[in-house]
A and B are shown apart, each in its own frame.
Chain A
Amino acid sequence: MAVRKGLLTAGLGMIGLLLLLPIAITFTHSLMTEQELTIDYGPIGQRTEATETGADTFVNLKWLPDKVTLEQYGKLLVYTPNYLLMFWNSAGLVVPIIVGQTAVAALAAYAFAKLKFRGRDSLFLAYLLAMLMPFQVTLVPNYIMADKLGLLHRPGAVILPGVFAAFGVFMLRQFMLHIPYAYIEAAKMDGAGHLRIFLTIILPMVKSGMAALVVLLFVDYWNMVEQPLIFLDDPFKQPLSVFLSRLTGEWGTVFAASMLYMSPMLLLFLYAETYFIQGVQWSGIKG
C-alpha cells in the first residue's frame, strides 16, 4: 500500500514539477548575466539558410547560471525608470478594478442569489453571456461610449468597464447560493433589514469566495493587454503587461522584468493560498 502511495505521489509530483518548470526557469535565468544569455540563446528567433540544412544551431535550456548575479535587477530598477513607472501604472489600474468590482458584485450577487424579482433569470443570463464574451465583441461601441463619456485616453476607460464586469457577480452568486435561507429568515424575524443581513450575515460567510475572487481578478487584470493598448494611447500610461510584451529578445533584462512582474501575484497566492483554494472549491459545488 505504501509503495503504491509513494509511486502515485511521485508520478503526480513529476507532473507538478513540469507545471512549475516555466516559473523556475524564469527565476534561475533572472540571475544570469547578459553575456551568458546572449551566448546561450543567440540563435532564438533566427531561422536562416544555415539552420534549414540541419546544422546544429539548437539551444538547450540551461537550468542554472554559470555565475549568479543581480545585474539584471540592478539594470532594470536603476537604468530603466520606465519599468517602475509602468509597475505603478499597472497597480493604478488593477487596484481600483479589484476593489470596485468586488464591492459592486457582492451587492448584485446578493440580489441574484437570495432575492426574488421579476426578470432575474434573464438578467442573469445576460451577465453570464457578457462574462463569456471576448473583449473584442463590444470593442467598437465601447470605444464610442468611452469617447462620449470623455473617458478616452484616461485610466477610467479601462477601469470602469472592469469594475462593472460580470465575472464577480457570477462568482459571488455561486457562493451565496450555498447560504441557507434559514439564516436570512431568522435574521428577518429578529427585525434585521436586507442591508443588515447582507453586511452581518452574508459577507462574513463568503469571505473565502471574496478571497478567491480577488486573486482571480488580480490575475486577470494584472495581465490585461488589449484594453490599455486601445484605450490609452500615451505610452507612459501603459501598464507593465504591455511594456513587458515588447521586451522579448532583450536578453539583458527580460527575465528579471518577468520575475518582478509575477512576484506580486506569487506573493499574493502564497499569502492567501488556503483561502483561495477553499474559495475555488466552493465555487464549483452547488449548495
Chain B
Amino acid sequence: MKKWFFLFAPPDWARRAWTRRKSRDAAAAWLFLAPSAAGFALFYLIPFAMGVMYSFRSGASGGRFAGLANYRELLASDSFRKAASNTFYFSAASVPFMLALSLGLALLLNRQIYFRKWLRASYVLPLVVPVASVLVIWQLIFDWNGALNYALSRFGIDRVDWMKTEAARYVVLAVYLWKNVGYNVILFLAGLQQIPRDYYETAQIEGAGRFRQFYGITLVYLTSTTFFVVIMSILNSFKVFRETYLLAGDYPHDSIYMLQHYMNNMFASLDIQKLTAAAVLMVGVIMAIVLGLFGLERRYRQFME
C-alpha cells in the first residue's frame, strides 16, 4: 500500500526495511543525500584523504612513507610559523572584535529609530560588492600618498605606509569589518527580535538593572545566534585572504602573510609535502575549534533550560 515511498520499484532491502520507520527514513535519507554525498566525496573528502596520505610521504609520486618528517620540517620552517601565527592571531582578534561591534550596532538598531529598514540595507550592502570592484578604492585610501595619509597629515600626524608596514593588519581588519559587519548585524537583530518583550518587563519589576538584563536575558537568548555568527565570522575571516591577495600579491608584508599565502606559494614551488602537511594541521585545528564551540553551545543550552 505504501508504494509512494519510492518513485521506482523499491529494492528488496528497502522493502524489508518498511516495517521499521527509522530505517525507512534512512533509506530515503540516502536517496536525498546521494547527489550531494557523491560529489562531496569526489571533490572534498577523497582529495582531503589523498592530502593526508601525501603529507606522510617523502615525494608526491613514488615517494616512500616518511612518518612525521614532513611535519617536523614544516614546523621548523619560519615562513610556516609566521603564516600560522598570523592566521591564528588575525582570527582570534578579529572574530571577537566583530562580535562586539555587530552586537553593539544591532542593539542600537533595535532601539527606537527612524528608517530602520534603510539603515539595515546600507549596512549589508558592502557584502554584495565584489572584491575586485573596490580594490582600486582601497588603493586610493591606503596608499603612501593616499587619502588616509592626507587626512592624517591635516592633523599633523606622520604618514604611514599602510600596506607595507605592520599597519597592514589594520587595513585587512578594516576591510573584513567593512564587508561582513552588516551580515552579522542582521543576524543579531533577528535574534534580538525573537526575545519576548515581557521578559524585560518582568525583570524590571523585579528590580534588575540594565546590565543584569543584558547578561541575564539578552545574551542568554542570543546563544544559538551567537554560535552561528561565530562560525560564519571564522569562515569570513579566512575569506578576507582574497582581498589581501589581490591588494598585495603573493608576498605581502610579513604581518599579513597568511596560511593561504603560504599554501599558494608551496603549490607554486611544487612543495607538495609541506603544503599537504600544513593543510592537515589547519583542518585539525579548525576541527578542534568547531568541536569546542559545539560543546560550549550544548553546555550553555543545558544551563539555560
Contacts and interface: CB of A to CB of B under 8 A. Distances in A.
Main secondary structure of the interface of A (DSSP, over half): helix
A117 B4 contact: no
A44 B111 CA distance: 43
B35 A248 contact: no
Interface string A156-174: 0000110111100100001
Interface in A136-156: 136-142, 144-145
A285 B191 contact: yes
Interface string B161-198: 10000000000000000100111001111110010000
Interface residues of B, number: 110
A225 B246 contact: yes
Contact of B229 (A25, A281, A284): A284
B62 interface: no
A254 B136 contact: yes
B113 to A, nearest CB: 5
Interface in B258-295: 259-260, 263-264, 267, 272, 275-276, 279, 282-283, 286-287, 290-291
B228 A245 contact: no
B29 A111 contact: yes
A248 B136 contact: yes
Contacts of A129: 283, 286-287, 290
B47 A141 contact: yes
Given A11-B108, A61-B141, A117-B29, 15 more contacts: A12-B108, A19-B125, A22-B126, A44-B143, A51-B145, A59-B150, A107-B32, A129-B290, A130-B40, A137-B283, A138-B47, A145-B42, A161-B43, A194-B28, A281-B187
Interface of B: 2, 4-7, 22, 25-26, 28-33, 35-37, 39-40, 42-48, 50-51, 54, 60, 105, 108-109, 111-115, 118-141, 143-147, 149-150, 153, 161, 178, 181-183, 186-191, 194, 224-225, 228-229, 231, 234-235, 238-239, 241-242, 245-246, 259-260, 263-264, 267, 272, 275-276, 279, 282-283, 286-287, 290-291
Q: What are the 9 closest A-B residue pairs judged by CB atoms, nearest first?
A: A164-B39, A141-B47, A281-B190, A108-B36, A284-B187, A16-B122, A136-B263, A117-B26, A58-B150
